Amino acid sequence: MELLKFLDDCGVDYKQAGDDRHISHGWVGLSCPLCDPHKEKYHLGMHLEHGFFNCWRCGPLARVEILRQLTGKPYAVCREAAQAPYRRQPLTPRPGPLQLPSGLQALQRAHRGYLARRGIDPDQAARLWRLQATSELGSLPWRIVIPICQNGACVSWTARSITQDPQRYLSARADQEVVPAKSLLFGADYVRHAALCVEGPFDAMRIGPGAVATLGTAVSQTQLARLAAYPVRILCFDHEPQAQARARRLCDTLSLLPGKTINVQLDAHDPGSASAREIQHLRKSYLDDL
């Protein structure tokens, strides 16, 4: 029995990539029983080809135990289901060509004000991170479009709303990107010996060159491998307990690999809200002097 059919037979609700913009090709989204008991979100992802589970908030989860909590079935039944094939045929990748949102333009007054309020110099951000914007006429209105680059070429993107839109970030679909964004680290083109890893792209912009972002709370296996390739990696996740728990788990994994791994916890909630003095100290301690 396929794992997906097992969920169907148990009446577990899930969404696929075509159902929700936040669910990537090759994944299904489920309500995480650990952090979403009321089943309001789809933060838990199951990879269709490899069968592993990863929650945006909780991180990687044990397959058998999460199946037991999702389905209510006995442990032995879930263990048998977990050992079954995940999908009859392997997934075929669906790369681009790259399709950027329509109506792109230079940063306007509203976008520049948003960046300035986050402690980011709009002129420097537009030049260094190649930011663009949409207005009310774009396909994704009133957003800052953030290119995700690999070796100098834009291969994907994400777009941050500057309004009160509940969907703060909207990202390229699988058929709109050349390389999956979650297989990359935002800002990697500017990293040398040490990578200071944060969650969001604006956190990385606030710190400057040398910082990379995982583009969300979950870290993919490919992103993990890219981080491990740096001789020094510094994790600087948000201050909240869940984020720090993820950082500790990631540190434990990276510590088994060659190189040096450091976990840093700021006084501020996250790098984006840190004071200029704290950012300067962070750079001097871990980036500028290396």
**CA torsion, ordered 12, 18, 22, 28, to nearest 10 deg:** 30
Cα separation of 106 and 114, whole Å? 14
> Residue 36: its pLDDT value, please?
81
Cα separation of 176 and 152, whole Å? 18
88 — pLDDT class (breaks 50, 70, 90): very low
Question: Is the model more confident about 39 or about 91?
Answer: 39
> Residue 89: its pLDDT value, please?
42
pLDDT > 90: percent of the chain: 50
Mean predicted lDDT score pLDDT of the chain: 87
Residue pLDDT, tens place only, 213-252: 999 878 888 898 899 999 999 999 988 888 888 899 899 8
> Residue 101: its pLDDT value, please?
94
Cα separation of 286 and 185, whole Å? 18
Contact criterion met (CB below 8 Å) for 129 and 152: no
Residue pLDDT, tens place only, 26-50: 678 888 888 887 777 787 888 776 6
